[in-house]
Amino acid sequence: MKFQTLGFVLFSGILVVAATIVWNTMTASGYLKITSPAKGQKVPVGNIVISGTSSSNATNHCTVSININGIKPDQHVIPRGHIPNDYSKWTFTDTSKYALIKLGFNKITSKYSCPQNINFIRFYSVNVTGVKAGAVASVGQHQTPRNTAITSSPFPPLLPGH
């Protein structure tokens, strides 16, 4: 992955906020991504299951670990690729022995590292919002406003016989 960060710039009284642009390249240099939960997602407080992907496999011996809210030590994830020690797909199930998702802002960071190159490390983070149980709506669920009535129509009335 290549990262480019743009700074703060003031143009005629308009503030342009910093932005980070990420180019995800699937090369020998490696990639890493948390696929669940999604960035900005609302999640119940307490335990969480985290999943992701990486360019790790059984032959390059790279591994993935997780950090929730900066609590150390990083936790090992479970490789879910097609063969043993294949971290191309991975999961982590949080427990109260490590760290739980708390009410409000939470940062989940995954770390990709390769033992054959101790200087090669990649990080990928998502920010999620912890909410009380029952406050997370199901995907695809939406609410229809109550007491709504059409009081006028933008179309003229039809003439008799039409």
Q: Residue ranges of the domains in the chain?
A: 29-131
Q: Please tell me the predicted confidence (pLDDT) of residue 29.
A: 64
Q: Quick one: pLDDT at residue 146? A: 40
Place 139 in a pLDDT band, splitting at 50, 70 and 90: very low
Fold of 29-131: Immunoglobulin-like (2.60.40)
What local confidence, expressed as pLDDT, does residue 119 receive? 74
Please report, as a single letter, which amino acid is at residue 143: Q
Query: Is the pLDDT confidence value at 96 over 80?
Result: yes
Residues paired with 19 in a beta bridge: 6
63-72, pLDDT tens digit by residue? 999 999 999 9
Distance CA 34, CA 43 (A): 15
User: Predicted confidence band at 75 (pLDDT cuts at 50, 70, 90)?
Assistant: very high
Cα 54-58-61 angle, rounded to 5 deg: 75
Q: What is the pLDDT of residue 76?
A: 95
Could you tell me what percent of the chain has a pLDDT over 90? 47
The answer on pLDDT for 106 being more than 90 is yes
CA dihedral (104, 71, 127, 112) in degrees, to 10, reads -170
Both tokens of residue 138?
């199901």
Helix (H) and strand (E) counts for the chain? 0, 13
pTM: 0.65
pLDDT, position 115: 80
